[in-house]
Structure 1
């Protein structure tokens, strides 16, 4: 049971990392006019990724100033997610596995 919880936490963090990377790439594609919002699939994908990543990115966007049109909040959130993953795997995961098996 403990191993399953550890796997689930790591999977959720990995999915959030990929969602943030996808949001960043999609925003670059929009900015350089490679794709547009008029495409129905692209628009739905953009709305989904925005809804998933906004709760994590928005607090940092309010704190970190915009550096000449470059948003570095995804980089900060990615670093914090990796820190949380390493902290969880180093401290909480062994205890969960020992406690729950």
Structure 2
């Protein structure tokens, strides 16, 4: 059972990294530090959007429109932290 919890933690870490990379990249694109016309940047941006859109879209449907402010990544990060806390506090019940 411990290996299953370690795999869940690994998946949560990967999703955490993807969300942070997506947020940082969106800021860099917004401030015109990165240009999506460059092929490498566009491929990374497209890949991150394809990976994270299934996670973001249900959250965006629930959240009210905020006028250009997207809180879906913040909600995902808080949810990941909550799942980690629940797993760590209840790990004794899995043995």
Q: Return the TM-score normalized by structure 1.
A: 0.83
State the match for 1:18 in structure 2.
Answer: 17
> How much is the aligned-residue C-alpha RMSD, in angstroms?
1.4
Q: Which runs of 5+ in 2 are unaligned?
A: none
Aligned to 1:85, the other structure's residue is in SS state helix
The structure with higher relative contact order (CA 8 Å, sep 6+) is: 1
Q: Deviations over 1:38-61 (max 9, x none)?
A: 111111111111111111111111
- Structure showing greater Rg: 1
Q: How many residues align?
A: 95
State the match for 1:86 in structure 2.
Answer: 85
Mapping of residues 61-72 of structure 1, within 5 Å: 61-72=60-71
Larger mean Cα displacement after TM superposition, 62-71 or 7-16 = 62-71
Q: Which runs of 5+ in 1 are unaligned?
A: none
CA shift, 1:18, in A, is 1.0
State the match for 1:46 in structure 2.
Answer: 45
CA shift, 1:67, in A, is 2.2
State the match for 2:5 in structure 1.
Answer: 6
Aligned to 1:75, the other structure's residue is in SS state helix
